[in-house]
Amino acid sequence: MSAADFTEFAGLFPDETVTHSYVQDIELPAVPGKASPGTFALITLDNGLDHSKPTTLGPNTLVELGTVLEGLRDRAARGGIVGVGVTGKPYYLVAGADLSAVKSLEKREHGLWMAQLGHDVYGTLANLGVPSFAFINGAALGGGLEVALQSTYRTVSTGAGALALPEAFIGLVPGWGGVYLLPRLVGPENAVKVMIENPLSNNRTLTGPQAFELGIADAVFEPADFLEQSLAWAAGVISGDVVPERANAVDPAAPDVAERWAAAVAAGRRFVEAKTSNAAPAPGKVLDILEANRTMTRAESAALECGTLADLMQTDEFRATVYAFLDLVQKRSKRPAGAPDRALARPVTKVGVVGAGLMASQLALLFARQLKVPVVMTDIDQARVDKGVGYVHAEVDKLLGKKRISQDASNRTKALVTGSVSKDVFADADFVIEAVFEELRVKKQVFAELEAIVTPDCILATNTSSLSVTAMAEDLQHPERLVGFHFFNPVAVMPLLEIVRAPRTDDAVLATAFELSKGLKKTGVLVKDAAAFVVNRILLRLMGEVTAAFDEGTPPDVADNALRPMGLPMTPFTLLAMVGLPVAQHVQESLHTAFGDRFPVSANLQKLIDNGVKGLWENAPDGSRLIPESTLSLLSFGNHPSTADEVLRRTQDALAGEIGLMLDEGVVAGPEDIDLCMILGAGWPMFLGGITPYLDRVGASERVNGKRFLPPGVASRPAGA
């Protein structure tokens, strides 16, 4: 395509927030004993917005950057500049491609143009006729990091975070040269880590120092004078006084590299299989390109990258990922559906936690660390209280040992958490949450005792996973003060908070709950008071179908692996063991009471619980999994086995039916909240889009409910595209 064609293509995106390329001429500092190397052109990428609006790369942005670079190439040819640098506005180099623009590309041809446009612009950066430098002052994601990789040299700030090639996570491949350049710069093993292992491990990113250690950057400087230090370093490179060392760089043609390259790709494929069961196309495509480009020219790899990128942009998995990541996690999570006006929220200056067990202790630590207010725990005896406070202190010590907090922060957090055997300590608390045994009678007793102690404005919260908040409130003098505040385990890691509104919960209480969730760095989703709320209801329906198939006589390996095409983070029986068989059975019993035979209670599961068995599988000496004969002897089975395909379809249809009922009941505002809950509360894969786009894609929604959950084009290709 010509420059005019690219400009015409960019015109299809009139609403793009353009990241402009501002050029400043700088006389480089003199190197000791020498004169200044000359004039240096510094490009600053800036969209003119504050740090809450990251700079991104859309078609108009790329056309402008390309035009600027072409002008600088002409200046370099005339001897007007000795080098070109690229940096960004505060906190960002560039946060990657504009996903909103990419998602809107309905034709494969347009996706191909987008890929080719990036390569055309980046090719200019790589061939300016003078050295180019990337000064990585902040986040550099995807195409942002590829800007740096296409430069001749790179510096990075120790304050820079979020450096990554996350394309495998969002359903694409690094399409602007990263998959070709990175393995040559840092070695194939490190390239697989950055392009596969990190993205598929909850989208992990690199810090500035980590990027320097891998060899992505040639030099690392402190934030305070990062630009000045980078310019001085660039002057040294241009004058020949500084020669960067690249210890991890490899020559793909070297005799020993072919074997390393193949081993790295093979390791990457094993990792993808373990993480996704190969249910998502993008990670495998990244490895396909990496495997092929060892013997390719840069131009040949670019053509392969462009074609692959164009294909992936048209997949339902990519569009489902953008829906999950951009529409839900980045947008909807920040504006919870149904949340009251935040102005109604009350201040919380002291928190009480009833209980000092593991969950209660995790809650106490979270409240103290994030809210930085006094937190007091209670339990029935001093030994339990001491154990709970001791747990908090030990966890703080671990954070200190890992250098994740300072000594001062450690001391302050420990001082904030105290314990008592008397609930009288809650007299001046603003918010008290219970985390006691999951038994309605016990919880009602706790709240009755609390109401006699706390102030009239004190909010009472329950961390119940399945019991009725309405029932807990029915004997309270002020039922409007009670709210469900359901965390997921482990509390420090899982970002979801199911905020449960009972019929009489008032708006001020609810508003305070949502403000607290933000203060705790959690995502609050408003749910109706219905048995097991959202995540546990869906997970127990799933596990119930698989367990029922097993009880009917389906072989255990068939039943447990039947859902592998969904790419879930773990198999159902593994999840059962992790949750704990007694806990899962207790929730299943609650759901059976509420909804009947859709949630059957497994007699086999109860036999395992009664005999102290922790889970079905055990690891054999050879590393394989088996069910011990002692466990099998406890169980009885029917004579109606199912195939893996039958178990998968049965589960898909059950989930579609259950979610349809949940939406009819008004458990949440819409299918988007179902998906958000499953992503943040159960680790549901982004490439599924949560759960409802997956059920739409496999036809379960229409088989069971007669309609899709989401219109075509929301988390899938538009109709007719």
For the annotated catalytic residues, the residue numbers are 146, 167
- Ramachandran sector of residue 87 (left: φ over 0; alpha: ψ -120 to 50; beta: rest): beta
DSSP string computed for 484-516:
EEE--SSTTT--EEEEEEPTT--HHHHHHHHHH
SS3 652: helix
* Nearest Cα to Cα of residue 305 among 429, 442, 165: 165
| 458: its two tokens | 């004190």
Place of tokens 């001085």: 232
Q: Tell whether omega for the bond before 490 is within 30 degrees of 0, i.e. cis.
A: yes
Q: Which residues of 37-53 are buried (b: 16+ CB within 10 A; e: fewer)?
A: bbebbbbbbbbeeeeee
Q: DSSP letters of 49-90?
A: S-TTS---B-HHHHHHHHHHHHHHHHHHHTTS-SEEEEEEST
Cα distances from 715 to residues 6, 280, 483, 709, in angstroms, run 28, 15, 32, 10
Confirm if 531 and 594 have CB atoms less than 8 A apart. yes
SS3 139: strand
Phi, psi of 60 (to 5 degrees): -65, -35
State how far the Cα of 259 lies from the Cα of 385, in Å rounded to an integer: 57
Backbone angles phi, psi at 416, to 5 degrees: -75, -25
State how far the Cα of 694 lies from the Cα of 697, in Å rounded to an integer: 5
Q: Which helix (H) or strand (E) holds 225?
A: none
Q: How far apart are CA 533 and CA 486, in angstroms?
A: 9
Cα distance between residue 160 and residue 139, in whole Å: 6
What is the DSSP code (8-state) at residue 346? P
Q: Which residues pair with 154 in a beta bridge?
A: 134
Rounded CA-CA distance 423/445 in Å is 13
47 by DSSP, 3-state: which? coil
What's the token pair of residue 20? Answer: 């402009």
- Residue 484: CB atoms within 10 Å: 26
210: left (phi over 0), alpha (psi -120 to 50) or beta: alpha
The Cα 244–Cα 147 span in angstroms is 19
